[in-house]
Amino acid sequence: MTRQKRIVAIHDISCFGRCSLTVALPILSATGIETSVIPTAVLSTHTGGFTGYTFRDLTHDIRPISEHWRSLGLEFDSIYTGYLGSFEQLDIVSEFFDDFRTQNNIILVDPVMADNGKLYPSFSPDFPKGMLKLCQKADIIVPNITEAAFLLGRPYNPGPYTEKYIKDMLMELSSIGPERIVLTGVFFDDRHLGAACLDKTTGKISFAFEEKIEGYYHGTGDVFGSALLAALLNGFDLADSTKVAVDFTVESIRKTKAAGTDVRFGVNFECTLPRLIKSLNLY
């Protein structure tokens, strides 16, 4: 057996609502990857559509965890970050990258902060500037169209998009620094939705689309990012990993829509995991 891959996922724990760590941990583990976590905060629910949620900030636990891990000489094949709640957390995570970057590991930053043209309510208008600095240190970034617009200081375009618009956006995002860009929420017509990716080392741009399912389902960015990383770490190239992640996310949404679940409760990725495992040719 080849050496088992090990990653660290640095996100919050939203106790209810299937996003961030409650999504990343099961998806990556199910695909054979040893998944360590650094929880950045504990919330009773995510912040998308719920009111009255609790929030326990764990910012000041991140450095001590990192120091302990350094004393143990731990190494990770990937560092995967998602929702980070403050400038201080961005700075501490940036230091973590400096401490745990190796020649070959993949730093994947999902710049979680916005969707549908708007910043999430918990972020101040200058937060994208801080997130941009973290993205500069990444090997891969996975913004949605709104996050890409905020990172680039461009006006939000609600779509549909042209191929040229998406290709230009990918090129501009790659000038931030990362070698690989995966842009989600891409559509050229009203019937299909998916993602586009650019691999700067080969210059190759690829698209992956599936049938569009109406409704705004929470946590799908985390389902997508986790499946993408699972595929990359299992040896798939960027274009194929993007296809696998689009397929897994859309199938999870399809099941959830069929069940009529509250869109705030996240998507049924659990019952879609066998499909992911099959598409990665695992076990």
Residues 6+ apart with CB under 8 A from 142: 108, 109, 110, 111, 182, 184, 221, 224, 225, 228
Binding footprint of ligand PXL, residue count (CB under 6 A) = 14
Residue 47 engages ligand PXL in binding (rule: CB under 6 A): yes
Residues 55-84 as x/- pattern, contact with ligand PXL by CB under 6 A: ----------------------------x-
Closest to ligand PXL by CB, 7 or 198: 7
**Long-range CB contact pairs, 53-61, < 8 A, 24+:** 57/85, 57/86, 59/85, 59/86, 59/88, 59/89, 59/92
Residue 89 engages ligand PXL in binding (rule: CB under 6 A): no
Residues 91-130 that bind ligand PXL (CB under 6 A): 112, 120
C-alpha distance from residue 41 to each of 15, 77, 221 (Å): 10, 24, 18
User: Would you call the peptide bond into 160 cis, given omega within 30 degrees of 0 as the criterion?
Assistant: yes
Residue 43 engages ligand PXL in binding (rule: CB under 6 A): yes
Report the SS3 class of residue 45: strand
Residues 185-224 as x/- pattern, contact with ligand PXL by CB under 6 A: ----------------------------------x-xx--
Residue 143 engages ligand PXL in binding (rule: CB under 6 A): no
Residues 15-34 that bind ligand PXL (CB under 6 A): 19-20
Closest to ligand PXL by CB, 83 or 207: 83
Residue 12 engages ligand PXL in binding (rule: CB under 6 A): yes
User: How far is it, in rounded angstroms, from Cα 73 to Cα 54?
Assistant: 35
Beta 180-186 vs 78-81: how paired, if at all?
Answer: unpaired
Which residues are registered as beta bridge partners of 119? Answer: 114
Q: Which of 7, 37, 48, 196 binds ligand PXL (CB under 6 A)?
A: 48
Interface positions with ligand PXL (CB under 6 A): 12, 14, 19-20, 43, 46-48, 83, 112, 120, 219, 221-222
